With several copies, the nearest count.
Chain A
Amino acid sequence: MKLIMAIIKPFKLDDVREALGAIGVEGMTVSEVKGYGRQKGQTEIYRGAEYQVKFVPKVRLDIAVDDDIADRVVETIRDTANTDKIGDGKIFVLDLASAMRIRTGESGNEAL
């Protein structure tokens, strides 16, 4: 199993979720995060003074998936979250040692 961690632009969340649903991924966990990278944050101006907002709001998806479909999930996220503009984000893949569904105690692929 893999744990796929994707950092994407917030307004792409709904699209990505739907695209993943279409290929059979029904569960995921989402967090609001702040990204630092090439893309710079907005400048805000209050009473004439500039405030450089150093972070850019991003959304992070954590998705545990079976090894079989990991590549397809990565591709799907890539295709859907892509806007060809700087700051589109990253997809990281980690090996998952084990997984368990709390409600049933099932583990492995059953748990996802």
Chain B
Amino acid sequence: MLRRLIAFRSVLLASGLAVLTPTLALAQDGGVNGANTAWILTATALVLFMTLPGLALFYGGLVRSNNVLSVLMHCFAIACLVSVLWLVAGYSIAFGSGGALNQWWGGLDKAMLAGVGMDTTSGDLPESVFFMFQMTFAIITPALIVGAYPERIKFGAVLLFTALWLLLVYAPVTHWVWGGGWLADRNVMDFAGGLVVHATAGTAAIVLALALGARKGFPGDVSPPHNPGMTMIGAAMLWVGWYGFNGGSALAADGAAGMAITVTHISAATAALTWMLVEWIKLGKPSLIGTVTGAIAGLATITPASGFIGPVGALAYGIVAGIVCYIAVQLIKQKLKIDDSLDVFAVHGVGGILGTLLAALFASPALGGFGYGEGMTMTSQFTVQVIGVVSVVAYTAIVSLIIIKVTQAVAGLRSSEEEETMGLDLSEHGERGYSL
């Protein structure tokens, strides 16, 4: 049962938007809507593109030149590993019907896609398409965490941590929010993954950064990003791919998808300009890396709200995201001296949490939003959002910490100092990034 779609639709219906033009005429019960399928196939490709190579490049440009390949490798290997695990059990845990325990997880009925053929549907999409679309979300979430640990982690630890984390954190939380679990039952609003993707990844990132310790030389003496242009290319690809991420989360080619990409885009643009201005005023120069980081902050922040708020709300989201995430970066790195190296928590964690909370506000029709679910008000919705944030962050932090301890015991976490000096490209993978 596709609780996510249903939950979302019911939100719309309840808020008096029942007049949404019926584009679904073709889809009788169990029927496939070709237009929606065409769009979700496309969205799936777009979201895969966000990780391969978008995020890999975004992160790869920010590290030293002798660690660039290791970052690309982390993203690529995570994508492969998660894909297999998603088939084996992840999808079932997230989207299966868990029977008595359905509040907590989806069980293992759909493990190995048991019972899913060409003609199985999920809503008005072929289930294979829904499986794949969701898989691309499952891929990018642990890949986001890569930004916490570059330049010093063992490759084996990356794999083991990711595998456990996918099954024990990502899949259950997804079930809670989108798979018909206890947060879905409470009408939590998370359109495209503020909780499921960004809050979980950001929380795990900061826990991992603390467990792993800072890079040699941090904070005063680390090397500058070796290739800011690579980072910009990655950011651009993330932006384009985010159309599939947020627009695809409408699960239909309709006005909801159109409005989702509209607000997504406006938030990204506004946050980028905001971050740029902040730097210009505070540091005297607007930087490329700052500007593109602002765009990503704007994208992460609007993600949970992208189906519920209007264009004017998106402007507000962008401004808030640009300022708050900028401050968060300074706070965590400079004040708290935590080497969450590529600012995963400050950008994704803070952005995702912020966006989830603000959604309760900006969904209000008075602020240009599209309203609340049946029986919900701004206050009751905000309460649910707080419950969602607190429970997801706490669960993620605790389970991530346990997984880290296990990983440390089994595979070891951190490279030797000599390997770190040499760079992980050579020490872990035996390759060099550039022979120009």
A/B: CB atoms within 8 Å of each other: yes
Which A residues fall within an 8 A CB radius of B? Answer: 11, 42-49, 51, 53
Q: What string of 1s and 0s marks CB contacts (under 8 Å) between B334-365 and chain A? A: 10000000010000000000000000000000
Kindly list chain B residues whose C-beta atoms are within 8 Å of the C-beta of A11: 421
Do B285 and A45 touch across chains, with their CB atoms under 8 A apart?
yes
Do B289 and A47 touch across chains, with their CB atoms under 8 A apart?
yes
Do B293 and A47 touch across chains, with their CB atoms under 8 A apart?
yes
Do B432 and A47 touch across chains, with their CB atoms under 8 A apart?
no
Do A46 and B289 touch across chains, with their CB atoms under 8 A apart?
yes
Apart from A48-B290, A48-B334, 15 more pairs, CB < 8 Å: A44-B430, A44-B431, A45-B285, A46-B224, A46-B228, A46-B289, A46-B431, A47-B293, A47-B333, A47-B343, A48-B329, A48-B333, A49-B333, A51-B222, A51-B223
Kindly list chain B residues whose C-beta atoms are within 8 Å of the C-beta of A42: 426, 430
Q: Does B225 contact A (CB under 8 A)?
A: yes
Query: Of residues A11, A43, A49, which shows the largest number of chain B Cβ atoms within 10 Å of its Cβ?
Result: A49
Do B225 and A46 touch across chains, with their CB atoms under 8 A apart?
yes
Report the Cα distance A51→B432, complex, angstroms: 11
Do A49 and B426 touch across chains, with their CB atoms under 8 A apart?
no
Query: Of residues B224, B282, B334, B421, which shows the largest number of chain A Cβ atoms within 10 Å of its Cβ?
Result: B224
Kindly list chain A residues whose C-beta atoms are within 8 Å of the C-beta of B366: none
Kindly list chain B residues whose C-beta atoms are within 8 Å of the C-beta of A51: 222-224
A contact patch SS: strand
Name the residue of chain A whose CB is nearest to the CB of B284.
A45
Kindly list chain A residues whose C-beta atoms are within 8 Å of the C-beta of B290: 46-48
Name the residue of chain B whose CB is nearest to the CB of A11.
B421
Report the Cα distance A34→B326, complex, angstroms: 33
In the complex, which of the residues A43, A45, A53 contacts B287, with contact meaning CB atoms closer than 8 Å?
A45
Do A48 and B330 touch across chains, with their CB atoms under 8 A apart?
yes
In the complex, which of the residues B62, B283, B421 contacts A48, with contact meaning CB atoms closer than 8 Å?
B283
Kindly list chain B residues whose C-beta atoms are within 8 Å of the C-beta of A44: 224, 426, 430-432
Within the complex, what minimum Cβ distance (angstroms) separates A31 from chain B?
15
The 15 listed contacts between A and B (C-beta, < 8 Å) are A42-B430, A44-B430, A44-B431, A46-B224, A46-B228, A46-B287, A46-B289, A47-B290, A47-B293, A47-B333, A48-B282, A48-B330, A48-B333, A49-B333, A53-B224
Do B432 and A49 touch across chains, with their CB atoms under 8 A apart?
no
Q: Does B99 contact A (CB under 8 A)?
A: no
Report the Cα distance A53→B221, complex, angstroms: 10
Kindly list chain B residues whose C-beta atoms are within 8 Å of the C-beta of A45: 279, 283, 285, 287, 430
Kindly list chain A residues whose C-beta atoms are within 8 Å of the C-beta of B287: 45-46
Q: Does B219 contact A (CB under 8 A)?
A: yes
Segment 157-195 of B: residues with Cβ below 8 Å from A: none
Do B326 and A48 touch across chains, with their CB atoms under 8 A apart?
yes
Report the Cα distance A33→B293, complex, angstroms: 33
In the complex, which of the residues B285, B329, B421, B426 contacts A47, with contact meaning CB atoms closer than 8 Å?
B329
Name the residue of chain B whose CB is nearest to the CB of A14.
B221
Kindly list chain A residues whose C-beta atoms are within 8 Å of the C-beta of B293: 47
Within the complex, what minimum Cβ distance (angstroms) separates A42 from chain B?
6
Report the Cα distance A39→B111, complex, angstroms: 53
Segment 214-229 of B: residues with Cβ below 8 Å from A: 219, 222-225, 228
Report the Cα distance A49→B343, complex, angstroms: 12
Within the complex, what minimum Cβ distance (angstroms) separates A21 from chain B?
15
Segment 272-329 of B: residues with Cβ below 8 Å from A: 279, 282-283, 285, 287, 289-290, 293, 326, 329
